[in-house]
Amino acid sequence: MSPLPAAAQGPRSFRAMQVDDLDRVMQVEVLAYSFPWSRGNFQDSLKSGYVAELLEASAELLLGYYVAMPGVDELHLLNITVVPDFQRCGQGRALLDRLEWQARQHAFSSIWLEVRASNTRARYLYGARGFVEQGVRRGYYPAGGLRREDAVVMKLDLSQEAAHAAG
């Protein structure tokens, strides 16, 4: 196993994703996924006021990002991506920590997400963070050709955590 990239070990910061960031974001998106989001998906999310942040080691070095859609009482994670060179270095945990912080700042009672059934690493990470599987969306993701892959729906219940902390 190769050593962790130095940038993955140093200081990191979050900032709001802007339209000007989309060239860098799209470079990562197409590297990270067989079926990436389109530039239009990101533009529409930003235009709609979704929570979208970058995780950076510096102004020049992007580590990851996420996009989440606020609802009435919940936050729905739509996209979370770590730059492939910086995966398995704690960046995913940092992004999830920030997402949870954002949800708490806006008094959301839960965070929802879908994850490919085959993405065992992500499912393990979400489970370790307290997300619980709620069900399956059959044929949710494209999988090449005419095939589709199921999504596992997961939820982090922030209201129960608050109730346990208070009681």
Q: How far apart are CA 150 and CA 117, in angstroms?
A: 6
Q: How far apart are CA 113 and CA 71, in angstroms?
A: 13
Q: How far apart are CA 103 and CA 70, in angstroms?
A: 9
Q: How far apart are CA 77 and CA 96, in angstroms?
A: 10
Q: What residues form DSSP beta bridges with 135? A: 153
Positions annotated as catalytic residues are 114, 126
Q: Which two structure tokens, joined as six digits, stand for 18? A: 């802007």
Q: Which two structure tokens, joined as six digits, stand for 130? A: 């307290």
